Structure 1
Amino acid sequence: MTTAVVFDSAGTLLRTYRVLKDVTDGTVHENVETITLTASCKERALVLLYVHSRDIIDEEPTRLLSEYLREKNINFGISCTCKAVTADYIRNLLYNDTHATIGDLQGCIRTVWETCKKETVVALNSGVMLNGNLGGIEYVITAGGRPFSRARETIQDLQTRGIGTYIASGDRTKKLMRMADYLGVPQDNTHGVATPAIKEQVVEDLKREYDTVVMVGDGINDLRAMKKADFAILSLQQNADKPEPLMKAADFTITSVHQVVDIIDRLQ
């Protein structure tokens, strides 16, 4: 029997530290579940910015973030939305925002970097949460992720057993590829900026190639892929407080990523 395991990244393979700043009132929040926050308002959209953190740090903090994004022609990826939206709709909200400054995002980047800079491998990503009701940016966000202690060992043990290993994540592709290289997941098997629909499609495509496909996730954006998979594993390693639909969809729950290996052995 051939088997493939698809992993989400943040919260599943990577322990993530996340900082959000609400640009409407200036409050800063740590370790908020951005997918859950996005899902709580149908007008919200979680968007990744394809920009290097050092470039943001070097800019004038009082400058509008939207002005910088327009001038540098910074592209973006739509990570999660509650309703169907077009890229033009997102671009209009993002590039015409009048709320967020470069300094807002600089603060998030510095806070995350101070926490994660001693790690051997760090994936640092920044983005924004748009809100159609505001006509622009509601939150600026930076997240830093480091692999869970046995993440690389888990990938190696699965591959030793002949199991196909894949990543489908909402994280920025370039940095996700570097993390995949560290973990040992082939780049051809790594799918970045993956929306819930794309994750579901990855699982569906793999079911044509493998007898069994297992999805390992930790957030509501993994739900569609978990339901599509033959078996669903829900990770509680970073956060054990999960929405009821995720708990119902899970065939197995884990508190350590390496438990995936034991589950696959049982399924085999």
Structure 2
Amino acid sequence: MTVAVVFDSAGTLLRSYRTARDVRTGEILSDVETTLLTCLDRARVLIALNAHSRDVIGAPPDQLLSSYLCAQNIGFGVSCLRQITPHEDLARILYSDTNAMVGDLQACIRDVWGTLKEESLVVMDSGAILNLTMPGIEFTVTAGGRPFEGAKEAIADLHAMGVATFIASGDRAAKLERIADHLGIPRDQVHGIATPSIKAQIVDDLKKCYDAVVMVGDGINDLQAFRKADVAILSEQQSKEKPLELCKAADYIVGSVREVVPIIRDLSGDAIVPI
């Protein structure tokens, strides 16, 4: 049989550290789950900015973030949302915002970098949580991560078995490609800026090409993909605090990415062959 395994990135392949800043109060929320923070309010939308951390750090901190994004022609993608909203409406809110300053995002970047700077491989991604009701930027966010111990070996074992591996994540493609290169996953099998519905569609599309499609994730934004997959594996390697709905949708719950390998091996008595 032919098998494909789709991995989320943060919390699944990567040990992640995320920081958000409430732009209204200035409060820093360290090591926060940004997808859960987003899902607490139906009016919130988590977006990823196509901006490099070094460039943001070099900008004037008292400049409006919206002005900086416009001046630098920085685009964005939607990572997580609870109500469907046209991209042009989100763009209008983002690029006309008068709440967030560049300094709000700089504070997030510095907090994440200060925590992860000693790691040998660090990937970082910045964005914002828009609030459709305000409307405007409610939080600036930055996420950084490094591969979990054993992730590279797990991918190599799956490939040796003839299993195709994919990444589908709300993170920027450039960040994911660095991780994919490190892990040995082909870049053309990496899907960035994937919303929950896009992840589910990726799984559904792969089911047309493979006998079995497995989704491995760790957050509520993986729920739709879990429900589409033939097998859903929930990872608790980053955190054991999971929504009950997500746990119920999982066929397996693992504490390490390495535990995915024997599950795939035992999926069928038939030999797994590459497509």
What's the TM-score, normalizing by structure 1? 0.98
Q: CA deviation at 1:36?
A: 1.3
| In 2: Cα distance, 1:206 partner to 1:60 partner | 45
Give the corresponding residue for 2:125. Answer: 125
Structure 1 residue 107, shift from structure 2 partner: 1.1
Q: Which amino acid aligns with 1:177?
A: E
1:194 paired to 2:194: yes
For residue 80 of structure 1, what is the aligned residue in structure 2? 80
RMSD: 0.8
Stretches of structure 2 lacking an aligned partner (at least 5 in a row): 269-275
Q: How far 1:72 sits from its partner (Å)?
A: 1.3
CA distance in structure 1 between the partners assigned to 2:3 and 2:72 by the alignment: 44
2:47 matched to which residue of 1? Answer: 47
Counterpart for residue 116 of structure 1: 116
1:26 pairs with 2:12: no
**Offset at 1:266?**
1.4
Partner of 1:141, secondary structure, is strand
The letter for the 1-side match of 2:27 is T
Deviation at 1:244, TM superposition (A): 1.0
Task: Quote the Cα distance in structure 1 between the aligned partners of 2:248 and 2:265.
Answer: 23
Instruction: Output the amino acid matched with 1:244.
Output: L
Aligned to 1:11: 11
Q: Distance in 2 between matches of 1:127 and 1:16?
A: 15
| 1:99 Cα offset (Å) | 0.9
Tell me which residue corresponds to 2:98: 98
Per the TM alignment, residue 37 of structure 1 is displaced from its structure 2 partner at its CA by: 1.4
Deviation at residue 128 of structure 1 after TM alignment: 0.3
Residues 17 and 32, structure 2, Cα contact 8 Å, conserved in 1: no
Distance 1:126 1:227 in 2: 29
Which residue number in structure 1 is paired with residue 273 of structure 2? none
Q: CA deviation at 1:104?
A: 1.0
For residue 248 of structure 1, what is the amino acid of its counterpart? K
Deviations 1:223-268 (A, max 9, x none): 1111100000000111111111101100000001000001111113
Alignment-mate amino acid for residue 118 of structure 1: E
Alignment pair present for 1:161 and 2:183: no
- Aligned-partner SS, 1:258: helix
What is the CA–CA distance in structure 1 between the aligned matches of 2:70 and 2:188, rounded to whole Å?
32
- SS of the equivalent of 1:146 reads strand
SS in 1 for 2:62: coil
2:60 corresponding residue in structure 1: 60
CA distance in 1, matches of 2:189, 2:147: 18
What code does the residue aligned with 1:214 have?
V
Q: Distance in 1 between matches of 2:114 and 2:157?
A: 33
**Letter paired with 1:140:** T
Partner Cα distance (2:7, 2:197) in 1: 15
Instruction: List structure 1 segments (4+ residues) > 3 angstroms apart after TM superposition.
Output: none
Structure 2 counterpart of 1:92, which letter?
R
Equivalent pair of 2:113/2:144 in contact (CA under 8 Å): yes
Query: Which residue number in structure 1 is paired with residue 205 of structure 2?
Result: 205
Write the letter of the residue equivalent to 1:41. Answer: D
Deviation at 1:146, TM superposition (A): 0.4
Deviation at 1:32, TM superposition (A): 1.5
Partner SS, residue 257 of structure 2 = coil
Q: Displacement, 1:118?
A: 1.6
Aligned residues: 268
Q: Contact 2:232 / 2:252 at 8 angstroms: preserved in 1?
A: yes
Residue by residue, what CA displacement relative to the aligned partner does 1:108-144 show, whole Å, maximum 9, x if unpaired?
Answer: 1111111111212111000000001221000000110
Which AA in structure 1 matches 2:51?
V
Partner amino acid, structure 2, of 1:160: A
Shift of 1:31: 1.7
Q: Which moved more, 1:87-96 or 1:113-122?
A: 113-122
